[in-house]
Amino acid sequence: MRRITRRAAGAALAGAVVLASLPALAADKVSVGVLRFVSSGGLFLAVERGYFKDQGIDVDLKFFEAAQPIAVAIASGDIQFGVTALTAGTFNLAGKGALKVIASQGMEKKGVKGNALIASNESYAKGFTSFEKLPGTSIAITQVGSSFHYQMGQIAAAKGFDLAKIGLKPLQSLPNMVAAVKSGQVDGALIAPHIARAMIDKGEAKLVGWFSDVAEYQFGALFVASKVATENRDLTQRFVTAYQKGMADYAAAFLRVDGKGERVVDETAKSAAALVGKHVYPADSADVAAPKVIESAVAVDEKARIDFADIERQIAWNKAEKLVTPEVDAKAFVDTSFAK
């Protein structure tokens, strides 16, 4: 019996030596396009907490200055995934088969402050103090067909005036929008909350109102190149699984409220905010960045599920504005089977 035991132990040791000498399986490397937005916090948490590594994925984050270039980069093969806003250009590329929508990102929801309409100090002093005062103003957006463009259309519809009465100024990037408001080149801008709050706190702009006080909608999504989704479904599913864990952490950290409806700020929120802040405010220390992240956190679905009906409404509006081609059909590129 002792000889048998020694032989078994020897075999086990030899097996362990062989296994140790084998190279580790290489992780799947993917590039992900993203903006430095708090609304992308679910992605950042999944990266920082190792959820992608747990799924055997090595993520390389590529930062952009506007949403549309991310969709273009996916279509060209420069990146495989993207987390950003839905735009007319994205719908057109998706309609041509270049990419798919497989999960959600941020949303505008009543009671949660999301994108803000801000006014230049000069324009505010002259009376641009409410949504109703928008007709006759000039408003900066990133691009024609951007999520900001769509939101301005929703504001106009809700307030009962023609969108054409607003002078929309596509300035191609967020830094250009900020500069235009600060210098008074435009009357205002509809912009992400973390940017709006920073400008307001510095006295560079005035708050006109929050979009979520006017309407609700799903403004962001997780995209993937169609080739990746069809030829490597396993990788795509593993990516979504890790991303969903990050989104669940985001919701647990930032979307809890107390009995007065105020956002809960505890260690769960602070630790998550510090991780998100590394990407949104890379020049700030954790203790400076974290409060800004918590204050600017938008609503999300904790499972990153897609609001298909809302995407169809967005496409319909863009078609009516002749920004999306008639043949674009959400059923062809929105895949709800990954995020359930």
The strand order across the sheet containing 57-63 reads: 57-63, 28-34, 81-85, 220-225, 99-104
User: What is the band of 260 on the pLDDT scale with cuts at 50, 70, 90?
Assistant: confident
Reduced to 3 states, what is the DSSP secondary structure of residue 169? Answer: strand
What is residue 26's predicted lDDT score, i.e. its pLDDT? Answer: 79
Q: For a pLDDT cut of 70, what percent of the chain falls above it?
A: 93
Q: What is the largest CA-CA distance in the chain?
A: 96
Instruction: Give the residue extent of every domain in the chain.
Output: 28-108+218-281+298-333, 116-215
Cα(131)–Cα(26) distance, rounded to whole angstroms? 53
pLDDT in tens, 200-256: 999 999 999 999 999 999 999 999 999 999 999 999 999 999 999 999 999 999 999
Name the pTM for this structure.
0.86
Q: Domain 28-108+218-281+298-333, what architecture?
A: 3-Layer(aba) Sandwich (3.40)
Comparing CA positions, the residue from 315, 290, 337, 273 lying closest to residue 88 is 315
Instruction: Specify the CATH class of 116-215 in words.
Output: alpha beta
- The answer to whether the beta carbons of residues 51 and 272 sit under 8 Å apart is no
* 148-168 pLDDT tens trace: 999 999 999 999 999 999 999
Residue 274's closest CA among 257, 262, 291? 291
> How far is residue 263's CA from residue 295's CA, in Å, rounded to a whole number?
8
What pLDDT was estimated at residue 290?
Answer: 96
